[in-house]
Amino acid sequence: MKALISTIVISLLFIPSVFSQVTLRHSNDTIRLKLNIGKASDNTFTKSEGAEIIGTFPKNDTIKKSWQTNAYLELGIVSESSKWSIGLVGEIHRNTLIEKEQNVKQFGVNLGKIIMFRDKVTNVSNMEIPLTLSLKKSKDEIKDTNTFQGIFGLSINKFKGSSSLLKTQTQFPRISSFVGQLIGFSHNHNIGLAYLGGDEDLLLGQFDFEFNTFILPSLSDKWTDRTDFFKIQYLFKGRTRFSSGETSLDLNNYRSFQTGINLSFNKKNSIELAYAWIKGAAPLKGLANQNYETLIAKVKISIE
C-alpha cells in the first residue's frame, strides 16, 4: 500500500504540470500528432531503443510458430514549445525461442514533459531533463496474471561544458579529432521508480544505462552519411526493491552486449541488425532470469 501511495503522489505532482501547459499556452503553442514505434514505452531511455520483431510461421501445423518480439506502438500529441506530450500505447513482449518463454501484452497512457534550462543571452537550451510517467495494464499470458504498472523516469541531458558525462546521446570525441576519426562513444541513462499493483504489490527503484562504441566513424560517415554504422553496445538495467511484500517475479539485473550495424535514415528513424548476448530478467516485461544469445533486427520509427 505504501508503494501505491508513493506512485499516486508522484502522479499528482506530475500530471497537473503537464495539463497546465495545455491550458495556459495552447493559444501560443504548436500541437502535433506523433506516431512512435520502438522497444518499450516506459521512459525516454526505452523509447530510444528499436523494436525487435522476428517471427517464423511454418505451413506445417505440427511445427510450432516462433516469436521474438519486443515492441510498442504509441499514438499521441506533442507540444512544440512547451515540451509536453501525451499518448496512447500498446505493447507486446513475446519470445518463444528461449528456455523460459515470455508473453506479455500491455495497454495504457504515457505522459511526458521536458524541463529546459536556457542560456539567458542566447535563449539556447544548455540542459534538459525529460520526465515521463507511464500508466499501463499488463497481462502475463505465461503466468496468467494481471498487473497495473506505474513507471516514473527522468534523465539529465547537458549540451554545454567540458565534461561529456551528462552529454547523453552525443558522440565524443569530436569526429574532427584524430581519435574521433577512429573510434567514437556515446551513452544514455534513466533513473526512476516502478510500481506494480493488482496481482503484485511492488515498488522498485530503477537505473538504466547504455554505453555505445562506434568503430571508424569517419569512414562510415563517408559511406553512409552516418557515424554510427558499426556499433557495439553494452546495456545495463538495474533495480532495487523498496517494498517488503512477497513476489513471484525475477528481479535480477539485466545485462546485454550487442554488436552490429546501424542503418539510420535520420536521428529518429533507423534499422539495426545486431547479435546480442543477454543475461538477467525484465520483470516489467515478463522476462524470467536466464542467459541466451540471439540475432536481433531492430526498427525505430518516430513521426511527428
169-211 tens-digit pLDDT: 778 888 888 888 899 998 999 999 999 998 888 999 999 999 9
Q: Can you read off the three cell numbers belonging to residue 243?
A: 517494498
For residue 12, pLDDT over 70 is answered with no
pLDDT 10s digits, 211-250: 999 999 888 888 887 788 899 999 999 999 998 777 888 9
Q: In the 8-state DSSP scheme, what is residue 177?
A: S
% of the chain with per-residue pLDDT over 90: 48
Average pLDDT, the chain: 84
- Over 90: is that where the pLDDT of 253 sits? yes
Min mean pLDDT across 39-48, 89-98, 141-150, 262-271 is at 262-271
Structure confidence at residue 58 (pLDDT): 65
pLDDT, residue 60, reads 66
pLDDT, position 24: 37
Q: Hey, what domains does the chain have and what are their CATH numbers?
A: 2-303 (2.40.128)
pLDDT greater than 70 at residue 156:
yes
What pLDDT, on a 0 to 100 scale, did the predictor assign at position 3?
47
In the DSSP assignment, the letter for residue 172 is B
| Type of residue at 191 | I
Strand partners, 55: 67
Angle at 201 between CA 247 and CA 111, to 5 degrees: 125
pLDDT of residue 159: 67
CA-nearest of 243, 258, 284, 270 to 6 is: 243
For residue 260, pLDDT over 90 is answered with yes
